[in-house]
Homo-oligomer: A and B are copies of this chain.
Amino acid sequence: MIRFSCSSLTVVAAVVVVAGAAYADVDPLPSWNDGDTKSVIITFVESVTTEGSASFVDENARIATFDNDGTLWVEQPMYTQLAFAFDQVKAMADAHPEWKTTQPFQAVLEGDMKTLGEAGEKGLLEMVAATHSGMSTEEFEKTASDWLSTAKHPKFDKPYTELVYQPMIELIDYLQENDFKTFIVSGGGIEFMRPWTEEVYNIPPEQVVGSSITTEFKMVDGKPALMRTNKIDFIDDKAGKPVGINSHIGHRPIAAFGNSDGDFEMLQYTTIGADGPRLGAFVHHTDNEREFAYDRDTHFGKLDKGLDAAEENGWLLIDMKADWKTVFPE
């Protein structure tokens, strides 16, 4: 620890990292109701940041991973990226008459949510691959950004990037203030998330892990470009999440937050058989009034075996209705 007094010193452009004790006066999680859930989180953070304690964890090992859909932002009535793909399929349908009889495109054009739900993240990516291949990563980024700037959620009538969970934003901030490195590890498309995660979550592109399609480097008209093919490269879901974490981060996290069985293996990888304190948690969607209530029986974000295994594994269930004062930012 660097300690200095400065009776006549002016410190310019200083980043001051205040020790944990200073938070005693300021609630780091104001949108969380006081209670067991909040206590478990704060106790965990204090335990790994208290120097000299047996549970202290070096800064470079303070890795926390967050699922995105249903953990940081709304995933009902469908994944946001699916709503995006729907709109792209509809816009391109006249040029593709074969889509009327080819799944999952037929389901999109007919609004068949059940078939689409069963197609899962893989079906979503197939649709994205089909509708977004043959363009550069920069062109794709622009298409996604343009859509996000105009599209609105059907229930809340707000842009999707405003339908993020305020308590989780505070949690990311709190961990960052305590020198955690925070990563998104999502089944969603990595290039769909990166254009906006820094602004919305304060998580930069290089700390976003997601599903991807293959890209190829080419010089196009004398300029370098990465062209998106229609071949799926990696599915960052279920047992793919620890693989994605190892590939992109190269450490096991000490904390992981998810909300569905797609996050089960990430929580196993983070918490089981490890030395030292670990925190694994599911956001449990229990609030049909302020958001949505769902778990074992839903097309998107099914939480079933995770709900059964939580107690045995010491995983925290964050009860959205009971634990959160507010759901969305004001």
Contact = CB atoms under 8 A, between A and B. Distances in A.
A269 interface: yes
Given A206-B250, A251-B205, A217 B269 contact: yes
A17 B17 contact: no
B206 A249 contact: yes
B273 A223 contact: yes
A265 interface: yes
B10 A204 contact: no
A18 interface: yes
Interface stretch (A35-43, A157-165, A238-246, A282-290): A238-246
A216 interface: yes
Given A12-B3, A246-B137, A239 B217 contact: yes
A26 interface: no
A273 B19 contact: no
Contacts of A216: 239, 243
Contacts of A205: 249-251
Interface string A1-13: 1111111111111
Contact of A206 (B7, B16, B212, B251): B251
Contacts of A269: 217, 224
Contacts of A18: 12-13
Interface in A184-207: 190-191, 194, 198, 204-207
A204 B13 contact: no
A13 B18 CA distance: 7
Q: Number of copies of this chain in the oligomer? A: 2
Contacts of A15: 2, 14-17
A31 to B, nearest CB: 26
A11 B12 contact: no
A11 B7 contact: no
A114 B246 CA distance: 34
Contact of A224 (B1, B4, B7, B272): B272
Contact of A5 (B10, B215, B217, B250): B10
Contacts of A181: 206
A221 B15 CA distance: 45
A326 interface: no
A198 B16 contact: no
A272 B223 contact: yes
A236 to B, nearest CB: 11
Contacts of A12: 1, 3, 18-19
Give the one of A9, A250, A269 with max B CB within 10 A.
Answer: A250
A109 interface: no
A101 interface: no
7 closest cross-chain pairs (CB), A and B = A205-B250, A223-B273, A217-B239, A217-B242, A224-B269, A206-B249, A194-B250
Given A11-B16, A15-B16, A217-B243, 10 more contacts: A3-B10, A5-B11, A6-B6, A7-B7, A191-B250, A206-B248, A206-B251, A216-B239, A217-B239, A217-B242
